[in-house]
């Protein structure tokens, strides 16, 4: 069973935007990973565990999404 996340632009709780491209599985652990690209700097590709990408974090005394979906990519 695949675990999916909507591709598109997400905003990190600290303010920067990221383009989510897809998900993939880690070859050793089978853990689902999110493949994403910062929309600033050198725009290199990054991966982060799906569970971490979608978790809630404490920010200014509130639980907020680590990354919040904004819109589909152009």
Mean pLDDT of 66-74: 94
Q: How many structural domains does the chain have?
A: 1
Residue 60 covered by a domain: yes
Residue 2 covered by a domain: no
Mean pLDDT of the residues in the chain? 94
Contacts of residue 64, Cβ cutoff 8 Å, sequence gap at least 6:
13, 56, 57
Q: What is the CATH number of the domain that holds 60?
A: 2.30.30.320
Say whether pLDDT at 19 is over 50. yes
pTM, rounded to two decimals: 0.89
Mean pLDDT of 15-23: 96
Say whether pLDDT at 70 is over 60. yes
């Amino acid at each position: 069973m695949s675990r999916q996340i909507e591709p598109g632009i997400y905003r990190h709780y600290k303010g920067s935007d990221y383009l989510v491209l897809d998900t993939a599985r880690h070859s050793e652990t089978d853990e689902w990973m999110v493949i994403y690209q910062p929309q600033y700097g050198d725009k290199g590709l990054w991966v982060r565990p799906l569970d971490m990408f979608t978790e809630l974090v404490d920010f200014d005394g509130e639980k907020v999404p680590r990354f919040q979906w904004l819109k589909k990519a152009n």
